[in-house]
Structure 1
């Protein structure tokens, strides 16, 4: 098999892997009634504490308007709360609630189970090879 054909085959397999992983993620996240960007918001707030809408937008590479829309749903689920800054009413902070912390803990468990299912038949050596290969591919893309 020519190298070009092998690269096409690897590329096709990688796309299929990502599609199936995304479908698996969506099945698990559906149990929580959360989208991936909403999970990212909860994860960021859980790790970094209360953040301005603009800080969340910068961290997730989204617009402030997108963050506002995403947090509307999270507020309705009581996963986050919004607070206006006392010194500047235009500034809005978003903070995670106890329910949001519980939700992100559940999502982490779903993710752990998904990763375990995906990697449990691979040896430690295989995983190290994947890490080395992906790291090199990321360097190649950046150059």
Structure 2
């Protein structure tokens, strides 16, 4: 059991680091060289559609609205995002991807699709439930750990 623990621990730590580094190399191409990995994740959180308010995006990313505002200012200046105030409540700010932002969103989404499809292509139908159970456990750990850290 100790060997399994050591192997799983090593693989998880290595994977987390590699995913972050490789994702940045894969998604920050010449076309999107003015973006960071964090920018791409903000773009992903905004998503497609008519826009979202800043509070819901900050909650989704588990960051403060102040931190999101800093990132959003940069994305607005780079023309990936546009913002507008709610007509009903002028204090509420909505953000929406521009056509340039939508292009970046699809570029990032394609990287995730390729990564996921590569895994699915290597599994048979019996292995998929085991992977799903494993990923659920990992997700539960991260969610529980994040909740413990909040004030």
**Could you tell me the TM-score, scaled by structure 2's length?**
0.74
How large is the RMSD of aligned CA atoms in angstroms?
Answer: 2.6
Query: Aligned runs of 1:37-52 on 2, under 5 Å?
Result: 37-47=38-48, 49-52=50-53
> Which one has the largest radius of gyration?
1
Q: Determine which of 23, 26, 29 is the counterpart of 1:28.
A: 26
- Distance 1:42-1:49 versus aligned 2 partners, 3 A rule: farther
How big is the shift at 1:48? Answer: 5.5
**Residue 27 of structure 2 contacts residue 107 of structure 2 at CA under 8 Å; is this kept in 1?**
no
Q: Which runs of 5+ in 1 are unaligned?
A: none
| More off after superposition, 116-125 vs 8-17 | 116-125
Residues in 2 aligned to 1:58 and 1:52: alpha-carbon distance in whole angstroms? 10
Deviations 1:7-30 (A, max 9, x none): 122111121122222221110122
Gaps of 5+ in 2: 145-151
Tell me whether 1:75 sits opposite 2:73 in the alignment.
Answer: no
Task: State the number of aligned residues.
Answer: 140
Name the TM-score, length of structure 1 as normaliser: 0.77
